[in-house]
Structure 1
């Protein structure tokens, strides 16, 4: 089992997940220009580069979060960001989230491989027993994407968050266990082929 405080670069054929840092802020600002990205997120769209810089500062300051920049290997462009969060080594659990990518890369091999790399690292390197996801109950696209990974819907946390517009958000919770990973791994690899 690896050190749960480690924050490695995870590299694949289509995507490289680099520990998020100040050098990624400009690329995140550019990747985040499509308003559709922000519809279900708990933060507002970046209006200026300084917003992306503050986003990076907040993400990297959170001790229970390991934030990554998603880099398109073929172009070197920042496609978006994703994170491990709610990391609890004692119980061998973590969540994947705070994820967004520019629509150019949605439903592509880059996005699939990013999830594969995060899951492989969680289960095969860290020795996680459970990986979880949380998404807005109204975000059906996200729910379908999580289900395609092989995660199981566990339930709904009612009045769980406040959206940027001030409305109350119900959150759908999904998980995958260590025992379910081999089957999910095979399916993800088949999709990447």
Structure 2
């Protein structure tokens, strides 16, 4: 069984997920130039490179988070970031989130393959029994995307977060269990083969 504390590099045809480092800050700043990316995220868009560097530092300082940079295999550019978080090895559970990709890569195979890589590693290498997602109750696009993965909507956590604008956020929670993974994996592989896309 793999060490849950590590962040291995996960490679596919479209995307490479590599452990986030301070060297990725410039690429993330460039990839995140579209303000629309940040509408539903829990952090504000970095206004300059030092702000992007602080964003990376904060991600790396979170002990319950395993952040990755998403690298476009074709161009070598940083496309975005994603993380495992709320990682509890004792109970073999983790969440996937803190995810965004630049406008150039939205609705592409990169996003679909990134989810496939993260879920494959979680269920088949870490032997996770449960993978979770959380999203803003107002973010219907994200909810539909998570549901298309085969995750089950479990409920709503009221007043669960404070948004960057100071408002109170209700959070919709989803999960996928290990026995549900084979069917979800087949759907993701089919989308990659047929060229179908998943919204971020």
> TM-score, with normalisation over the residues of structure 2?
0.95
- CA shift digits 1:103-134 (9 cap, x unpaired): 22112100000000000000000000000000
Matched, 1:185 2:189: no
Residue 4 of structure 1 deviates from its aligned partner by 0.5
Q: Which runs of 5+ in 2 are unaligned?
A: 194-200
SS state of the match for residue 175, structure 1? Answer: strand
Alpha-carbon RMSD across the aligned residues, in angstroms, is 0.6
SS state of the match for residue 24, structure 1? Answer: helix
Structure 1 residue aligned with 2:105: 105
Aligned residue runs from structure 1 range 33-112, under 5 A: 33-112=33-112
SS state of the match for residue 172, structure 1? Answer: strand
Aligned residue runs from structure 1 range 150-169, under 5 A: 150-169=150-169
Aligned length: 193
Alpha-carbon distance in structure 1 between the residues aligned to 2:96 and 2:79 = 17
Residue 18 of structure 1 deviates from its aligned partner by 0.6
Alpha-carbon distance in structure 1 between the residues aligned to 2:96 and 2:51 = 23
> TM-score, with normalisation over the residues of structure 1?
0.99
Alpha-carbon distance in structure 1 between the residues aligned to 2:63 and 2:83 = 12
Q: Which runs of 5+ in 1 are unaligned?
A: none
Alpha-carbon distance in structure 2 between the residues aligned to 1:119 and 1:160 = 25
